[in-house]
Amino acid sequence: MTQWINHADLSNANSLGLKVTAERLIEVNQLTELVEALNEVEAKQWPLLILGGGSNLVLQPSLPGAVIRIAAAGVHLLADDNENAIVEVGAGENWHQFVCHLLTLGLHGLENLALIPGTVGAAPVQNIGAYGVEVSDCLHSVIAYDRQEKTVVQLMAEECQLSYRNSLFKSIEPGRYVIWRVRFRLSTCFAPKLHYGALQEYLDAQGQSSPTPVQLVAAVCAVRRSKLPDPDQLGNAGSFFENPRVSAEQYIALKQAFTDLVAYPEPDGKYKLAAGWLIDQAGWKGQRKGNVGVYDKQALVLVNYAEGSFEALLELAEEIRASVYSRFGVSLEMEPRIYPPL
């Protein structure tokens, strides 16, 4: 029998720290609990939000229907041939703690993704990435409950259709799959990726041109902390806007007009622009409007200082988007998901 919590306060369950109340909430630790809860949601036709760490969401003040919080735990080594290993992780595990745990297992590939907030189950949805590494680089497969077929399925990495901050779960078939466990293919050989500018600069300053895994994770954490606020101290959802992609022609035109434009070539010939640079150049870095604002160390991050509202945050985001478009002719898209959708 499902035990729902009515009128649940989710103010501490979203990293922006917005005041949020869910009509009903349940936390599930077992797959049978998840299936039972989903069956009731379907029978009563409730709107549904699957909640992990609440780190990539902008929640409206009142959430109708049901919220299911995934708490599946455990880290298991499924295979190890002395070169590569497959690790299965519960979707409810804390992402950063999982990355750190891999150090104790001598397994590598995810070091650059340390300190990213949220849960393991949310990582493939967003295809989280940082400092030159994405989840797609190491994803083996996902164990999920298919709400359409009403069965547990294993989706291999290629079936998850991961791309830049996107996946099957986010925009192609949203709501169909509930991720329960995630499998990663990791290496027993440490081959660090150090080409990302800020990370390389930090390691050089520390005299660590060939860092150990522990040193690399420490460096990633230090660089992140220097640029991004701790959600426990200052409400935020991490990067609020995606880095926009433009054609080579548009990039050339922008580069001629703005010689210090920050951009990265993509394999398909397009260019990825640094959204933070665009927002900074538009004059928003460090700006505050009431109880919300733009972080003074990273223009890509919108923050909730205290008692900031959903409406105020979206109003600020729209002003930033309009300002950047007016100056550069580039459209910014929000990275976190708004729920319920507008």
**Within 10 A of 45 (CB to CB), how many other CB atoms are there?**
8
Q: Tell me, what amino acid is at 36?
A: E
Cβ atoms of residues 75 and 91 within 8 Å: no
Q: Closest Cα partner for 52 from 145, 116, 129, 120?
A: 120
Phi/psi of residue 5, each to 5°? Answer: -100, 120
Q: Count helices and strands (H / E) in the chain.
A: 8, 21
Of 107, 167, 104, 108, nearest to 136 by C-alpha is: 167
Cβ-contact 197, 188 below 8 angstroms: no
Determine the length of the chain. 342
Could you confirm whether 335 is annotated as catalytic?
yes
C-alpha distances (whole Å) from 24 to each of 4, 18, 68 are 6, 17, 9
- Active-site residue identified among 24, 147, 165, 224: 165
| Tokens read off for 190 | 């440490």
Residues 6+ apart with CB under 8 A from 329: 250, 254
Q: Are 2 and 33 in contact (CB under 8 A)?
A: yes
Q: Of residues 15, 136, 141, 239, which has the active-site annotation?
A: 239
**Inter-CA distances, 97 with 7, 70, 89, Å:** 30, 16, 11
Query: Is residue 40 among the annotated active site residues?
Result: no
For 84, the 3-state DSSP assignment is strand
Judge whether 176 counts as a catalytic residue: no
Angle between helix axes 213-227 and 95-105 (nearest 10 degrees) is: 160
Per the CB < 8 A criterion, the answer to whether 128 and 166 are in contact is no
End-to-end CA distance of the chain: give it in Å, rounded: 33
* Active centre residues (catalytic): 165, 239, 335
